[in-house]
Amino acid sequence: MIWYDLIRLRKIKNTKICYNHKKDEEYVMQTKFQPMLLLTVNNSIGNKKKHFTIDNLCQLFNKKQNFTNVEKYALDTIKTEASTEELSWFSKDYHIPLSKIKHTSKFI
């Protein structure tokens, strides 16, 4: 792989450049990108079967009422533990207005 291609790939969020010491070459390793807000929410939920996906988290902010207990817990976690940077990055990356995120957290 040409060095220019490796530099270009570093700008992609879900790509990581690694160095293989045995073969003395660089290679591209695909990693699964997860936003910090999702990691914050899932870190506070002990049961892995109840962990959120990105789609679940996006749907949570579009929901207006009838939250389940896990969704209420996730919203409470976002309200208490998530930083403003996490919220702004998530809203920018997934095109969810920040006002919707703040409005949803009032329903807890």
Model confidence over 23-80: pLDDT tens digits? 555 444 444 567 889 999 999 998 999 999 988 998 998 888 888 999 999 999 999 9
| Cα(67)–Cα(93) distance, integer angstroms | 24
Enter the pTM of the model.
0.66
Q: Please check the confidence at residue 103 and state whether its pLDDT lies above 70.
A: yes
Give pLDDT, residue 64.
81
pLDDT (tens digit, 9 = 90+) per residue, 7-36? 444 444 444 444 455 555 544 444 456 788
Q: DSSP 3-state assignment of 22? A: coil
H helices of the chain, in order, are 3-10, 36-44, 54-62, 69-81, 84-93, 98-104
Give pLDDT, residue 107.
57
